[in-house]
Amino acid sequence: TLLFLSSCASNNIYKEIFTILKNISQGPDDLTQSEISKVSFASMQLRLGKNPNSLVVLEEDRNGVLKWTTSNNIKIYTLNGYIIRFTGLENSLDKIELDKNHPAITSDFSNLKNLIFTSYYSFRDPNLFDLPIKTFIREIGREKILISGENLDCIVYEENSLENLISWRFVNKLWVNVNNGEIVKASQFITPRNPNVNFKVTKKYKKP
């Protein structure tokens, strides 16, 4: 399942990729297509809070969980475009065990009315394991998103947290491709101590 690191980690190609990535960042505006095209691998644009946008590349696909890597060794793990692990920060997301009916698992965003999802969050530094977080998801609009030169029709959803043991309240925003239920853009909160993560697919991953 290793997409490219096994073939280039031991040579100059790997170093070249991350030299390019280290230099690709800007403000909150989207990265330009010329910047995106500098890396030929599947990639996404990522921003933590108000920091500049950076390009991250796909490292591996492990049973549908995609692992992305930044130039400063931050690792992001996504399932259908939803972050379920985020390491490399002082307070990191060790894992989210999603509700089995959560649309990030089922790819089905229809009939969400009156549904409550219970997922379990685990954090590091400080450690907190299997914190139950209840959320509900609702549709808030439609928007076209430019991905790999293609305008995708997306439905925009909000995921709202409910009262929990640490009083952590957040609102995630998800842009979902109407054709396949894939999350192609999101603003997602990953821990109580970090700002939201904004990310968007810039070059789609095509399974071999």
Place of tokens 């990729």: 17
**Selection from 10-24, 30-44, 126-140 with the highest mean pLDDT:** 126-140
- Residue range 129-143: mean pLDDT, rounded: 97
Give the model's confidence band at 148: pLDDT under 50 very low, under 70 low, under 90 confident, else very high.
confident
Residue 36 has pLDDT above 60, yes or no: yes
Confidence at 71, pLDDT banded by 50, 70, 90: confident
More confident: 15 or 134: 134
Region 74-103 average pLDDT: 96
Q: How confident is the model at residue 65 (pLDDT cuts 50, 70, 90)?
A: very high
pLDDT band at 35 (very low <50, low <70, confident <90, very high): low
Of 17-21, 106-110, 115-119, 139-143, the least confident = 17-21
